[in-house]
Amino acid sequence: MTRKSWKFGALAGVAAAAVALGLAELIAVVTGSRSAPLVAVGGVVVDHVPEPLKQFAISMFGVHDKTALLVGTAVLLLAFAAVIGALSVRWLAVGFAGIGLFAAIGVAAALTRPDAGPAAALPALLGAAAAGGTLWLLVVGPLAPAEVTELVAPSVQEEEAAIEGRRRLSTRRSVAVARSEVRLPTPATPVPEVPAGADLRLAELSSYVTPNDEFYRIDTALVVPQVDPAEWKLRIHGRVRNEIELTYADLLARPMIERYVTLACVSNEVGGDLIGNARWLGVPLKPLLDQAQPLDGADQVVGRSADGWTCGTPTSVLRDGRDAMLAVGMNGAPLPIEHGFPVRVVVPGLYGYVSATKWVVELEVTSFADYDAYWVPRGWSQQGPIKTESRIDTPRGRNSLTAGPVTVAGVAWAQHRGIAKVEVQVDNGPWQEAMLARAVSDDTWIQWSWTWEATAGDHVLRVRATDKTGETQTSQPADVVPDGATGYHNVAVTVG
């Protein structure tokens, strides 16, 4: 490989980009993880990408959509770096111009992040400077191509990995340690026991209680906020008579409730798995809002996350007696960091985009007429009550079925209303009522099962649910935008 080889130039460009990203990540330990160029640019993409593309990403990658975005951004950046590196062999100015463009994009993106100050520009600026120096060193500087090929590229990769490791340890270990030291209080009103028969324990049927490590995660945080409970504060303010500020210790000292509540994402497609049921421990929101005394006409409470995300919840819902809470525990443990540690909001009966603020630091009492939260300007409805839905978990299309008795089973939900009936249809035959398992309350999903005398051939199974208000879910298919998907879940099976 010669000094003037375009392959060498491409390698030099990639090495320069790796140095830039590694140094930027190290600087972002001090300036804030959201100022790192990849995270900042990814955040801008999340905020401005058209809704159809967001839904495509969620449907394609599910809970790994943010990882896919970061990986894709990094791949595009390295490809761009390879191109400008190859051109730099003959026109070094092109390489510097490309690095300048990278710096401009990174700075602009970082400065748009919530609560960003001037220091947020440093990772992109200093990273770009390091990239420029690395490119000069490799293209026209004293390093020989052989040294670059054999020594520089591997060392850059090792340095980047070491920087990333140090960054993760320095930012995550302290919060992880703080979480491990939390001792949750005993609830003043413990959760009712899960009744016998609530979990049918069938193969492929979702368990009644979703383990923490299996609970879905959909949010806009490309980097999970690291909030130290010792520094956490919640401010309740806005159109209230009495502003309130609470520390984590203040919150833990208040009377706690423990409840099973099923949460669902508005992006959950018919038959999807962006839903889960957990045991939550927290402080009821109603007494706090009653203490704050919202003013007349203040019909919305805006929750703000530590990363700046917002959602708007009807004030009336938070004060109507349901078990809306500031949750600190999940399934008997402190909240997992990725699920909102130290404190998040849980509201039975509402989709997460209008209620489930993770890493919550602020509740502003306002009105729907005065403020649109994060998702509303992006095409979603202001208010999002969870719709009556049902799902077939077993059998699935890939299952091999034989003629005779087949157990058809799944889950149904209509949080805060409850499920009264589930029915199954085979092909276009009559609807057959399924057996409902027991449930802790109307705020959780419920399992159901039905025995089908299967006959040989191809068949389509459908399911529908009716809630306790008498409303049966609609058969009309609808997309998740603007307020949740509708339609019957169906599974095509072959019986041998």
- Cα four-point dihedral sign 244, 245, 250, 252: positive
Euclidean distance between CA atoms 387 and 467, whole angstroms: 10
Could you tell me the residue range of the domain that residue 330 belongs to? 212-378
Same domain, 120 and 254: no
The larger pLDDT score, comparing residue 95 to residue 187, is at: 187
Same domain, 438 and 318: no
Q: For residues 76 and 44, is the Cβ–Cβ distance under 8 A?
A: no
E-state strands within 256-376: 257-264, 275-284, 300-305, 310-314, 325-330, 333-334, 344-346, 360-366
Same domain, 18 and 73: yes
List for the chain the helix, strand, coil content (%; round to 5).
40, 25, 40
**Domain end residue (candidates: 353, 378, 403):** 378
Same domain, 165 and 274: no
Residue 55 confidence (pLDDT): 63
Same domain, 357 and 456: no
Q: For residues 267 and 274, is the Cβ–Cβ distance under 8 A?
A: yes
**Domain end residue (candidates: 330, 348, 378):** 378
Does 439 reside within a domain?
Answer: yes
Does 346 reside within a domain?
Answer: yes
Q: pLDDT tens across 388-444, in order?
A: 999 999 999 888 899 999 999 999 999 999 999 999 999 999 999 999 999 999 999
Share of the chain above pLDDT 90, in %: 62
Euclidean distance between CA atoms 308 and 225, whole angstroms: 10
Query: Can you tell me which residue has the tokens 């990849």?
Result: 38
The pair of structure tokens assigned to 333 is: 């443990």
Angstrom distances, CA of residue 236 to CA of 313, 318, 441: 14, 13, 29
Same domain, 394 and 359: no
* Secondary structure of residue 224 in the 3-state scheme: coil
* Among candidate residues 106, 126, 110, the one with its CA nearest the CA of residue 118: 110
Residue type, 262: T
Q: For residues 473 and 462, is the Cβ–Cβ distance under 8 A?
A: no
Does 206 reside within a domain?
Answer: no
Same domain, 257 and 354: yes
Residue type, 272: G
Does 174 reside within a domain?
Answer: yes
> How much is the average pLDDT of 369-390?
96
Same domain, 374 and 402: no
pLDDT surpassing 60 at residue 143? no
Does 222 reside within a domain?
Answer: yes
Instruction: Give the global pTM.
Output: 0.74
| Letter string b/e over residues 227-259, b meaning 16 or more CB atoms within 10 A of that residue's CB | bebeebebebebbbeeebebebeebbeeebbbb
> How much is the average pLDDT of 83-97?
73
Please state at what angle helix 37-48 crosses helix 6-31, rounded to 10 degrees: 80
pLDDT surpassing 70 at residue 267? yes
**Domain end residue (candidates: 178, 199, 225):** 178
CATH number at residue 470: 2.60.40.650
Same domain, 342 and 486: no
Does 185 reside within a domain?
Answer: no
Residue 2 confidence (pLDDT): 41
* Among candidate residues 2, 157, 148, 8, the one with its CA nearest the CA of residue 87: 8
* Among candidate residues 15, 45, 29, the one with its CA nearest the CA of residue 108: 45
Q: Report the relative pairing of strands 344-346 and 333-334 from DSSP bridges.
A: unpaired
Confidence band, pLDDT 50/70/90 cuts, at residue 69: low
Euclidean distance between CA atoms 65 and 63, whole angstroms: 6
Residue 148 confidence (pLDDT): 35
| Poorest-pLDDT segment among 8-17, 43-52, 142-151 | 142-151
Same domain, 406 and 440: yes
Total domains in the fold of the chain? 3
Same domain, 276 and 412: no
Q: What distance lies between CA 40 and its chain's CA centroid? A: 17
Does 205 reside within a domain?
Answer: no
Same domain, 410 and 433: yes
DSSP-derived secondary structure letter, 369: T
| Poorest-pLDDT segment among 38-52, 277-291, 441-455, 475-489 | 38-52
Confidence band, pLDDT 50/70/90 cuts, at residue 228: very high
Share of the chain above pLDDT 70, in %: 84
Does 207 reside within a domain?
Answer: no
pLDDT surpassing 90 at residue 139? no
Residue 32 confidence (pLDDT): 78
CATH number at residue 290: 3.90.420.10
Residue 152 confidence (pLDDT): 33
Euclidean distance between CA atoms 234 and 219, whole angstroms: 20
What is the side-by-side order of every strand in the sheet holding 435-436?
389-394, 404-413, 446-454, 435-436
Tell me how far apart the terminal alpha carbons of the chain are, to the nearest angstrom: 62
